[in-house]
Amino acid sequence: MRKSFLQILIGLLYPEHCSGCGLGGVSICTTCVSHLRLARALARDTDFAVFDYGDKQVRRAIWDFKYRHHASRAKILVETSIPYILSFLSDRLQSTTPQTLVLVPIPQHIQKTRIRGYNQSFLIATWMAAHITGANVQQLLYKSVPSSPQARTKNKQARKQNVVHTMRTTTLIDPRTIYVLIDDVTTTGATLNEARRALRQGGGKKILSVSIAHGYISS
């Protein structure tokens, strides 16, 4: 994601400060990163999230990334996530060779991409792949039907209905390959479930998921 001239100028006029303690020259300092809350285990053993979206610094980093074109905090979250993600994957891949690992970003509808200018899940997957030996990123899913933002949908059933049958695969899926769905935030798991359904319909058999953060909705 390239910075515009205006963004560069703003950065020069207003240098970054840690969103946690205010330390100059960095968007999140190492001390504040070390205190970020980790997410609880997800209901499905094949799904994993690293941070708790209820943590103010985590929420701000992802919000700025999605809606303010500010990627530095989110990239730090991804880089900090790598040891946790590698541990999750190693427990489930066992003897599978790394070359079979494909990171699949959650798609967004083309209308949203045109407005935002990028798909944050694709950038997250790309940052992750740089630190996971043998992993590569493939955009195997596309959003065939636009849907309302999940953040505006307040209960589990409504979120499930909001995304059902909105995704399709772009090509045939190899049943021998392990696919890892990548997203920024998961809450009820409705989006991940829809992506998993689409991959399975395309032929996928081994499907995991990794999200940077987990929010919680109880009803």
> How far apart are alpha carbons 15 and 97 in whole angstroms?
44
Q: Model confidence over 142-191: pLDDT tens digits? A: 998 776 555 555 556 655 666 788 999 999 999 989 999 999 999 989 99
% pLDDT > 90, the chain: 61
Domain boundary assignment for the chain: 38-214
Tell me: pLDDT of 211 over 80. Answer: yes
27 vs 93: CA distance, rounded Å? 34
Q: Global pTM?
A: 0.86
The per-residue pLDDT for 159 is 55
Is residue 53 predicted with pLDDT exceeding 80?
A: yes
Cβ contacts of 6 within 8 Å, gap of 6 or more: none
Distance of CA 102 to CAs 53, 81, 175, 197, 215, Å? 25, 18, 12, 17, 25
Of 4-13, 46-55, 78-87, minimum mean pLDDT range? 4-13
Give 28-49 as a DSSP string: S-HHHHHTPPBPPPPSSTTEEE
CATH 3.40.50 for the 38-214 domain, yes or no: yes
> Residue 30's CB: how many other CB atoms inside 10 A?
11
